Amino acid sequence: MFKAILARMKQGHRTMRYPQEPVVIPERFRGFPQLDNSACRADCQLCREVCPTGAISCTPNLSVDLGKCLFCAECQKACPHGGISYGNDYRLAANRREDLVAQEGEEYRLAQALEEKMLKLFGRSLKFRSVVAGGCNGCEADTNVLSTIGWDIGRFGIQFVASPRHADGLWVTGPVTENMREALLLTYEAIPAPKLVVACGACAINGGPFIGSPEAHDGVHGMLPVDLYIPGCPPHPATILDGLLRLLDRLPGEAGARG
Amino acid sequence: MNRLTLLQNGASLARRDIPVLHGDHFLEEILSALDHGWRVVSYFALPEGEGLALYCVLSLKADATLGVLHTRLDDGGFTSLVPYAPQLHLFEREMAEQYGVIFEGHPWMKPVRFAPPLATLPGFCPTGPGKIGIMDFYRVEGSEVHEVAVGPVHAGIIEPGHFRFQCLGEEVMHLEISLGYQHRGVEKLVLGGPYPVTFRQMETVAGDTTVGHGLAYAMCLEALAGTRVPARAHDLRGIGAELERLANHTGDLGAIAGDVGYLPTASYCGRIRGDFLNLTAEICGSRFGRGLLTPGGVNFDLDALTVEKLRRRLLAARDELTNAVELLWDTPSVLARLEGTGVVSKETARELGLVGPAARASGLNRDIRRDHPYGIYNMTHIPVVTARAGDVYARTLVRWLEIERSLDFVEEQLRQLPGGGIENPVGSLGEDRLAVALTEGWRGEICHVALTDGRGRFERYKICDPSFHNWPGLAMALRGGQISDFPLNNKSFNLSYCGVDL
């Protein structure tokens, strides 16, 4: 008993101060891409060719579809002119599938808050039921970590619950394997309306590394109405939390647009 | 055993050098090898010539040697070895599902993944995927007996799978585990590769074992292309692999503590696990080591400043983790819940072919890092830890002792990183070759076998995740136990669903 109390004192209070203070992101973290096609030759498609998931388009402008991007940075490695690099900005989540395309010279539209009625319902208490539909345990692990003492997502009223009947929304990870499709749809049905759907990670958005697999469905987009898309393979916990807090309008004094 | 074609871990050989054995000789060889201390690390099929080829890859720890056996079937019938070698039962079920091989005498023929066949050959009749989860579960009859069905969707943020318990009151008489829900078709997607996406699929075979599977894949490519990996890259790969072990073992200790209701250790370990993930992210930007490795080496180097930073943070994590875990051993109510729960005897572990910490907790002294050393483990040895009891306590203790050894290893490697480059180019893959790569992931032995065709493309790529060997261990651990102990037992194995479902 005494040892437990001593340990408690030693381990200390470790919940981070985010969002009052910035979250610590590793220096080499690959977040929002910086695009510069000023040095691109018309016939050069090196970045597009090495992209494992076809996330890059060179016409009309250089763009990266963050819904497909695995942030593997093969494109950065392949480009001789530094046309693509991945910066430290972890804020990536969006409301609409088409908003996930980062284009040179265009503003990236980050997730917007829910409409007023939904915000009134869910703004202070939002419960999710997670369904893993072919996820590799990466997205799952970094969603789980939000409930640990470091992140303590409960302080925002957000919680992952054990029954769809207790939930306000469905949390989808994985490319939606054929073998999980029915269980996913049944779980969605079992959640009382109105309800939200979150597609967490590249797989759930567009199939991730398993895009085009005959045994999976390239994610939940098009299968269920998605309210929040969280890019990444897997997304950093800060990317996930940022998306949720934007959805709930809980980021104090911060503009929705990229600074 | 003179018919075995021998090779080393991380090596390749010409497929024509592997003789095609008569079916009876093939089976005799496997049984005789098993009698002489060999283990089966992979057993799979692929279309070859007019028929279906079966390859069996075995390992002999004593000689640090691997051996390959090869036969060819002209029609769908073959003899099951499962009555004599239970460790083969999932391999045979898998071949039945993937190609329609009928294994006569298999005592427990059921789907593995409810997946469509990989190929349909003349004379073979794969039954096709039934509806997921619908099969003949073993049932115990009786007025006092009840059945409990759990999953595929579980209560937490957990991968899907189905568990079917036969209970008499609280006592579990039998547990059957039915998987396949996570099947993404990895082995089918890889055919004809490697493609740009293939390495990303290997990193996500089991996404919590990115380095373990990524390394096995890289080793296969390097063996097929004849690439030498720079010493510094070997070191950085080893650091990545041990950080992966540290993060996951730490998470498991926390989860085990949580499942017996001991929240201090659960809370602290949940956070410290993140510290290890963040160390990996410090090296390569990804908490799961995505993109750290590349065939031929690694993508990221460390400068002196980062090394110093990593060492400092590693020391702090060791201090806090030791403090958090020692609480477990000092708390009698925790120990009472762990000791004697979910016992897997050494004999059962051996028969089922368990691997990794689960095997070592039951007294089996096996670890690929020592038995078939690869990369950095050729130079630096990590002592293998075993326990005897085979219960949840043993599986917990083995994890903790492995954490200590891995911490020592990473600290040592950070002190003595060799100079030189970090990546050598990988040329085109050799044609008509077979390569085998084994690594010791945090859950245990990972085995990748690659077979190339006449153009140097993958004709077959067989992946065996440690969970493929270990799920039956969990089922046996529950036998005669309390159903309320299932979560605790489950955490003490912490197996991968997607690693099996592929």
Using CB atoms, which residue from B157, B201, B270 is nearest to A209?
B201
Total domain count, chain A:
1
Predicted confidence at residue A236, as pLDDT, reads: 97
* pLDDT one-digit tens code per residue, B261-306: 999 999 999 999 999 999 999 999 999 999 999 999 999 999 999 9
- Which whole number is the average pLDDT over B314-341? 96
Q: In chain A, which residues have pLDDT < 50? A: 255-259
DSSP B49: T
> In this structure, is residue A214 part of a structural domain?
yes
- Separation between Cα atoms, residue A39 and residue A55, nearest integer Å: 20
When pLDDT is averaged across residues B249-268 and rounded to a whole number, the result is 96
pLDDT of A259: 38
Q: In chain A, which residue's Cα lies nearest the Cα of B182?
A: A134
- Give the pLDDT confidence of B388-447 residue by residue, as tens digits: 999 999 999 999 999 999 999 999 999 999 999 999 999 999 999 999 999 999 999 999
Residue B204 to residue A233, Cβ atoms within 8 A: yes
| C-alpha to C-alpha distance for B167 and A139, rounded to whole angstroms | 34
**Among B232, B153, B207, B259, which residue's Cα sits nearest to residue B422?**
B232
How do residues A103-126 score in pLDDT, each as one tens digit? 988 899 999 999 999 999 999 999
| Predicted confidence (pLDDT) per residue in B452-487, tens digit | 999 999 999 999 999 999 999 999 999 999 999 999
A23 belongs to a structural domain = no
Query: Do the domain assignments include residue A63?
Result: no
| A183 inside domain | yes
CA atoms within 13 A on the CB side of B291: 24
CA dist list (Å): B129 to A224, B99, B104:
25, 12, 20
| Interface probe, candidates B132, B203, B204, chain A, greatest A C-beta count within 10 A | B204
Subunit contact A236:B287, Cβ cutoff 8 A: yes
| Strand runs labelled E in B186-311 | 293-294, 297-298
Chain B residues in contact with A138 by the CB 8 A cut-off are 204, 207-208, 210, 288, 290
Domain that holds residue A210: 116-247
pLDDT at A254: 54
Is residue A12 situated within a structural domain? no
**Residue in A11, A138, A162 nearest the CB of B288:** A138
A150: nearest CA in chain B? B271
pLDDT given for residue A70 in this prediction: 97
A249 contacts A109 by C-beta, under 8 angstroms: no
Min distance B330 CA to chain A CA atoms (Å): 8
Q: Do the beta carbons of residue B254 and residue B396 sit within 8 Å?
A: no
Domains in chain B and their CATH numbers? 5-104 (3.30.460.80), 186-465 (1.10.645.10)
Contact A144 B182 (CB under 8 A): no
- Give the model's pLDDT for residue A59: 81
* Residue A78 placed within a domain: no
Name which of A5, A46, A148 to mutate to probe chain B: the one with the most chain B Cβ atoms within 10 A of its Cβ: A148
The CATH number covering residue A203 comes to 3.40.50.12280
Closest by CA to A129, choosing from A112, A143, A111, is A143
Query: Taking the CB of residue B89, how many other CB atoms lie within 10 A of it?
Result: 22
C-alpha count within 13 angstroms, C-beta hemisphere, residue B236 = 30
Q: What angle (nearest 5°) sits at the alpha carbon of residue A251, between those of residues A248 and A254? A: 130
Residue B1 has what pLDDT?
59
Q: State the first-to-last Cα distance of chain B, in angstroms, to the nearest integer.
A: 32
**Does residue A82 lie in a domain region?**
no
pLDDT digits (tens, 9 = 90+) for B99-118: 999 999 999 899 999 999 99
For residue B2, count CB atoms less than 10 angstroms from its CB and return exposed for 0-12, middle for 13-18, buried for 19 or more. Answer: exposed
Is A154 inside a domain boundary? yes
Neighbour tally for B483: CB within 10 Å: 17
Q: Among the residues of B353-425, which ranges form H helices?
A: 356-361, 368-371, 392-415
SS3 B392: helix
